[in-house]
């Protein structure tokens, strides 16, 4: 454990807990370091990302965790959130850490990729796969591009109606997103 003399090691944890994104009952301070979160984490399986370790660093006041490129390997699948025995949420903690990183202008190769998801909220009113991944996805899933271009037609045939949000609703979503400064944040991320 990283002992900090003359400083409160839980100051950083307190900052996380008081963040708007943190659930009222988030059990950060109850974390027993059991590692259950890491054992089920798909991000940890494919990279060096380790949610248990991330939580430990937060509890030890190691604010440098916001510089870690690994925290950008979380999928926000909430599996850790659902299995944690003490009601902690590495997923929410990760979201807050990334937010702090963006606010502080901490740049890495992954941040720009996430901006693409943000662009889609402004363009079509929902989070969607950024266009830059279309070709790669088509390589991984044969025929994916054809399927995507024919999706509306397929849905029509099935009587499912349009998958897209009405233009008026997209405009309303844009008004709300601009009101809270979302567009400016995306602009900032795209500039990284
Ligand atoms: S966050 Fe929960 S699951 Fe993960 S190490 Fe702590 S107590 Fe265990
Ligand atoms: S939300 Fe993130 S940290 Fe939690 S299990 Fe999914 S990928 Fe891992």
Ligand 1: which residue has its CA nearest to atom 6?
31
8 A C-beta contact, residue 51 and residue 37: yes
Q: Which ligand is nearest to the CA of 41?
A: 2
pLDDT value, residue 6: 53
Q: Tell me, what's the pLDDT at 1?
A: 41
Intervals of the chain under pLDDT 50: 1-5
Q: Determine the Cα–Cα distance for residues 20 and 23; give it in Å rounded to an integer.
A: 8
In which residue are the tokens 């929410």 written? Answer: 92
Distance from the CA of 103 to the center of ligand 1, in angstroms? 27
What gap in Å lies between CA 179 and CA 84, rounded to an integer? Answer: 35
Report the C-alpha gap between 19 and 94 in whole angstroms: 12
- How far, in Å, from the CA of 29 to the mean position of ligand 2? 19
Residue spans per domain, the chain: 11-103, 109-190
The pLDDT of residue 166 is: 94
Q: What is d(CA 154, CA 164) in angstroms, rounded to the nearest whole number? A: 13
pLDDT value of residue 70: 95
Secondary structure (3-state) at 77: coil
Distance 9 CA to ligand 2 centre (A): 25
Domain 11-103 is classified in which CATH homologous superfamily?
Answer: Alpha-helical ferredoxin (1.10.1060.10)
Query: What pLDDT is attached to residue 79?
Result: 97
Is 190 within 8 Å of 115 (Cβ atoms)? Answer: yes
**Structure confidence at residue 187 (pLDDT):** 87
Whether 21 contacts 40, CB under 8 Å: no
Note if the pTM is more than 0.85: no
Angle, nearest 10°, between helix axes 182-190 and 90-103?
70
- How confident is the model at residue 3, as a pLDDT? 42
Ligand 1 pocket by Cβ (under 6 Å): 31-37, 52, 55, 84-86, 88, 90
CA–CA separation, 88 and 102 (whole Å):
23
Question: What is the distance between the alpha carbons of residues 55 and 53, in angstroms, rounded to a whole number?
Answer: 5
pLDDT value at residue 15: 96
């Amino acid at each position: 454990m990283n002992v900090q003399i003359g400083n409160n090691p839980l100051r950083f944890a307190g900052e996380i807990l008081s963040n708007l994104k943190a659930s009222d009952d988030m059990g950060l301070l109850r974390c027993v370091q059991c590692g259950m979160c890491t054992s089920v984490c798909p991000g940890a399986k494919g990279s060096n990302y380790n949610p248990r370790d991330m939580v430990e660093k937060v509890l030890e006041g190691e604010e440098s965790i916001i510089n870690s490129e690994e925290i950008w390997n979380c999928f926000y699948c909430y599996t850790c959130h659902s299995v944690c025995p003490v009601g902690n949420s590495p997923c929410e903690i990760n979201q807050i850490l990334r937010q702090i990183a963006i606010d502080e202008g901490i740049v890495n190769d992954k941040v720009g990729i996430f901006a693409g998801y943000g662009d889609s909220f402004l363009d079509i009113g929902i989070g969607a796969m950024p266009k830059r991944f279309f070709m790669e996805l088509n390589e991984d899933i044969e025929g994916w591009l054809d399927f995507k271009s024919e999706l509306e037609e397929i849905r029509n045939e099935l009587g499912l109606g349009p998958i897209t949000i009405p233009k008026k609703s997209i405009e309303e979503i844009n008004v709300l997103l601009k009101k809270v400064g979302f567009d400016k944040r995306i602009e900032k991320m795209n500039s990284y």
